[in-house]
Amino acid sequence: NLLTGDNGLGKSFLLDIAWWALTRRWPAEINPKLTTGRKALPSEVGEASISFSFTAKSKREEYQSTFARREQSWTGRPGRPANPGLVLYAMADGSFALWDPHRNYWRTQGELDIQERLPAYVLSPSEVWDGLASSDGSWLCNGLIRDLASWQKENGDAFKHLKAVLKVLSPSEDEILTLGDLTRISLDDVRDIPTIRMPYQKDVPVVHSSSGMRRILALAYLLVWAWQEHQQAAKQLGESVAPQITFLIDEIESHLHPSWQRSIVPTLLSVMGQLDKHAKVQLITATHSPLVMASVEPLFDAKQDAWFDLDLCQGEVALIQRTYEKQGDVVNWLTSDAFDLRSGRPREYETLVNEASSLLMQSTPDKAELQAMYLKLLQALKPTDEFLFRWRAICDKKGWLS
């Protein structure tokens, strides 16, 4: 499922709502360190409600929650919520949230909770890397740096899975992401720091890697960590792994080079399928990238996939399910309903082309003006530009530039 729309229309808001509907807690409510994922608050006086439905483990869940202004909270059913399966949420700022039915679900007996667990694992960007501690000082998540170093030393299943995931998430077959040797970066930091082996055969500490690589490393780590811990919990409880996985990703293209943007959705779907071949995986992602929209053309199945676009209609924000039609090219996606641009040209050149088009529509344009415009077009556009071909063809046909 793809979400598009201009800045400020509510893509992140919708993903927060989806997380809340599945887990019944807001990310920042669980971890106040987050700067995103805060509780949705009605902007106007009057009744406000959120309606949602999803297929849970054993039944379909449908509910309408209303906002109780005196309590400043959204109403919910008593007892435990429905079990939606494994839910992962990668936020645009690098925060991450995980709801695990084996580790975050609680049992009830009559009206009393007999066992209550952590409502979800919600990590700020720094906690993704350095670990998440509980209120009593114990570690809920070791973090990327410690876990990667530990997995590499053990060279067990977790490390094998991580290497496989990094290989799949690599930008191309010629640039495979691999981990290098562990290192130390400071006399004051006694941790072994994982490194990423660069294409030029140098090992760079992960904390010094580029924003794009850090984004991919974090996604790879969190996927492996979530799945490893879920399997461990299932084994301890004597239960099967979750049959459903919902993955929410905000700005999936964040920090990524165009070559990576073009492959990130297909590769992530491939990775999720590798976690469990029998799992039902649903991906819901918000994007500003025409490359992302173009990349799913070979995969999009209208029977089960959807594209939703947020747009302004008569001064109000509307969520519209668009018909996903293949555009065949990134530039065509720029001018589609997803991004609403008039062209893929710079604004100045777009204005110049519009002026030239208006000039061509005149019955008897001034030849000097035509010649001056032609020179401007030659300076602005590449020689093979489609508009230049059209301009020459019309002018030759009418004998304006002879």
- Residues 178 and 197 sit within 8 Å (Cβ to Cβ): yes
**Average pLDDT taken over every residue of the chain:** 90
Residue that the structure tokens 């519009």 belong to: 354
What is the per-residue pLDDT across 237-257, written as a single tens digit (0 to 9) for each?
999 998 899 999 999 999 999
Q: Which residue has the higher pLDDT, 264 or 199?
A: 264
Check residue 264 and give its pLDDT. Answer: 93
Three-class secondary structure of residue 288 per DSSP: coil
Name the band, by pLDDT with cuts 50, 70 and 90, for residue 364: confident
Residue that the structure tokens 């093979």 belong to: 384
Residue 213 has pLDDT above 90, yes or no: yes
Name the band, by pLDDT with cuts 50, 70 and 90, for residue 123: very high
Check residue 116 and give its pLDDT. Answer: 61
Residues 180, 203: Cα–Cα separation, whole Å: 6
**Dihedral through CA 246, CA 242, CA 223, CA 245, nearest 10?**
-10
The C-alpha angle with vertex 387 and arms to 382 and 388, in degrees rounded to 5, equals: 55
Residue 272 has pLDDT above 80, yes or no: no
Contacts of 130 (CB under 8 A, 6+ apart): 143, 145
- pLDDT over 70 percentage in the chain: 96
- Residues 153 and 124 sit within 8 Å (Cβ to Cβ): no
Name the band, by pLDDT with cuts 50, 70 and 90, for residue 22: very high
What is the token pair recorded at 342?
């008039």
Name the band, by pLDDT with cuts 50, 70 and 90, for residue 45: confident
Beta bridge partners of 123: 96
Contacts of 15 (CB under 8 A, 6+ apart): 3, 89, 91, 248, 250, 284, 286
What is the token pair recorded at 208?
């010094």
Residue 106 has pLDDT above 80, yes or no: no
Check residue 113 and give its pLDDT. Answer: 46
Name the band, by pLDDT with cuts 50, 70 and 90, for residue 187: confident
What is the token pair recorded at 388?
């230049």
Residue that the structure tokens 């202004």 belong to: 69
Check residue 105 and give its pLDDT. Answer: 76
What is the per-residue pLDDT across 126-138, written as a single tens digit (0 to 9) for each?
999 999 998 888 9
- Residues 74 and 66 sit within 8 Å (Cβ to Cβ): yes
Give one word for 251, left, alpha or beta, with left for phi > 0 and alpha for psi -120 to 50: left
Residue 402 has pLDDT above 70, yes or no: no
Residues 180, 150: Cα–Cα separation, whole Å: 14
Secondary structure element (H or E) that encloses residue 335, with its range? none
Residue 108 has pLDDT above 70, yes or no: no
